[in-house]
Amino acid sequence: MGILREDVVVISPAEKAGDPTVISVNCPDKTGLGCDLCRIVLHFGLSIARGDGKWCYIVLWVDGKTNTRWDLLEKRLLEVCPSYFSTSGIDYYRPVNQQPKQLDVYLLKFWCSCVRKGLLHDITLVLFDLELTIKRVKVSTTPDGKVMDLFFITDTRELLHTKERQGETILHFKTALGDILESCEIESAGEEITACSQGTSFLPSAITEDMFSLELPARHPGGLLASDPISVTVDNSLSPSHTLIQILCQDHKGLIYDSMRTLKDYNIQVSYGRFFANRRGGCELDLFIVQADGKKIIDRNKQNVLCSRLRMELFRPLRVAVVSRGPDTELLVANPVELSGRGRPLVFHDITLALKNFNIQIFSVEIGRHMICDREWEVYRILLDEGDSHHVSRNMIEEGVRKLLMGWE
C-alpha cells in the first residue's frame, strides 16, 4: 500500500513561542534527498536547530518566522520527494547530479524615476513572495538618476506565460514601488536577449586567486584563525556497513545544506544523520554514509579528500570581497554551484539587505556563472554608489555582508 500524500510531509506548528516547528518527511529515499530538502528549508529563510534522519524518514526542528508560508513550504518539499506511491524497486543509488528541469526564462524589465535606498531589496522581496527565481540581474543607473532594471527570472509555478500571472506580478510591483515605477514589462527571454544581457566573463586574476582558493587560509578574512575548531573525522568501527562522518564546528546559516551539498556532489548516500546546535553557537553533526556502490569508505585517500573538502565548504561556504573596480568600489560574492546546476538560495536577498542596513545605494549589478578551479561558481558583482559607500569602510561592508550571509547577525 502506498504512502498517503498527507503523510509524506507533516509540519507540526510550535506549541508555544520560542519552540521550534517540527517538519517530518517520510518517503522513498534517494541520494541527495537531504541536500534537496535542506536547500528548500534554507530558501524559506528557516534555520535548522536540530535534525534526525534514518533512511527515508527525516525530522527537522526549525526556527520559523511569523510570515512563513508553511503550506507553500510543504508543497515544495513534496516536489523533491521521490514518488510517494512507490512501493518497490526503489533505487537508492541512482545518479542524482542530473540537471534539474529547465524552466522557461522571462525578462522582467522596468524603469524607475529615481533611486531609492533599499530598492533592490524591496524588489527581491516581491519576487520571493511571487515564487519568481532570479537567474540574472542587470541593473544600471542613468546620468539623470533613473534606474533601469533587467531581471531574468523563472516561475516556480510555471504560469508566467499567462496574462493573469503577468498582471498579478506587475500589480505587486506597482504596490511595492509606488509612484517611482514608471513602466514594467514582462516578456519571454529568448536566447538572443539572454546573450545580450551577459555581463563580462572576465574576473581579475588577483580576485580569482584569492577568493576561489581551495586551500584553508592561515587567517580567516574576518580575522578568525584557521585553527578555529572545525573538526571532521572518519570512523569505520561503529557500524559494520556504514562510515561515520563526525563534524564539530561553529553553526552558520545553511550549514546542513553545505554538508549535504558536498556529499551529494560526491554521490555519497546518507543513511542516517543527526544534527544538534547548542545555544553557544556550536554544532554537532553525525552522518552514517556509504559510497554509490553501497559500501563503506575504506580507502584512506578518499577519506582524506572528503574530510578536506567538508572542512573547506564549512569554513568558507561563500566568498566575499570588496575591491576596487577602477575608481569605484565593487562588492563580490561567490558561492559554489551544485553539480546538479542549482545555486545557493537567498544570496541576493541577503546581500541587498546588508547594503540596505548600511544605507548604501547600489549603482549596478551583474550575476553570472564562472568555471574557476574546475568548479562552477555563481558570482555577484555589485558596483556601489561611490557617494554612499564612503561613510562605511570596505572592511565593514565586507564583514557586514559576510555576517548576514552566514546568519551571524
Tell me if 11 sits within 8 A of 22, measured CB to CB. yes
Torsion of the alpha carbons at 197, 336, 320 and 331, rounded to the nearest 10:
0
Nearest to 407 by CA among 258, 275, 214, 213: 258
What's the pLDDT score for residue 96?
47
Give the single-character DSSP code of 239: -
**Average pLDDT for consecutive 10-residue bins of the chain (409 residues)?**
59 87 88 90 90 81 82 88 53 47 86 80 89 84 80 90 94 91 89 52 63 64 52 94 95 93 93 86 92 93 94 91 85 91 90 92 83 86 74 90 91
Q: What pLDDT was estimated at residue 324?
A: 83
Measured N-to-C along each axis, helices 394-406 and 347-357 cross at an angle, to the nearest 10 degrees, of 140
The order of strands in the sheet holding 147-155 is 181-188, 105-112, 147-155, 132-141, 362-372, 375-384, 328-336, 319-325
Q: How far apart are CA 33 and CA 175, in angstroms?
A: 38
**How far is the C-alpha of 229 from the C-alpha of 49, rounded, in Å?**
20
* pLDDT of 86: 47
pLDDT at 279: 77
Terminal Cα distance for the chain, rounded: 47
Helix, strand, or coil (residue 136)? strand
Helices (H), 178-268: 191-197, 205-211, 255-265
Q: What is the DSSP letter of 179?
A: G
* The pLDDT of residue 227: 46
288 forms beta bridges with: 244, 272
* Model pLDDT, residue 90: 39
The CA-atom distances, in angstroms, between 191 and each of 73, 261, 281 are 32, 30, 46
What is the predicted pLDDT for the residue at 95?
A: 47
Whether the CB-CB separation of 405 and 321 falls below 8 Å is answered with no
Beta bridge partners of 250: 282
Q: Residue 115 corresponds to which cell in the numbers above?
A: 533611486
373 conformational bin, left if phi > 0, alpha if psi -120 to 50, beta if neither = left
SS3 149: strand
For the chain, which domains are there? 9-80 (3.30.70.260), 105-188 (3.30.70.260), 229-315 (3.30.70.260), 318-408 (3.30.70.260)
> Using CA atoms, how far apart are residues 325 and 329, in angstroms rounded to an integer?
6
Q: Residue 83: what pLDDT? A: 64
pLDDT of residue 408: 87
Backbone angles phi, psi at 347, to 5 degrees: -65, -50
CA distance 14 to 373: 44
Q: Are 226 and 217 in contact (CB under 8 A)?
A: yes
pLDDT of res. 193: 54
User: Which amino acid is located at 301 in the chain?
Assistant: N
Q: What are phi and psi of 405, to 5 degrees?
A: -65, -35
Nine-digit cell at 189?
Answer: 527571454
H or E element, residue 287: strand 282-290
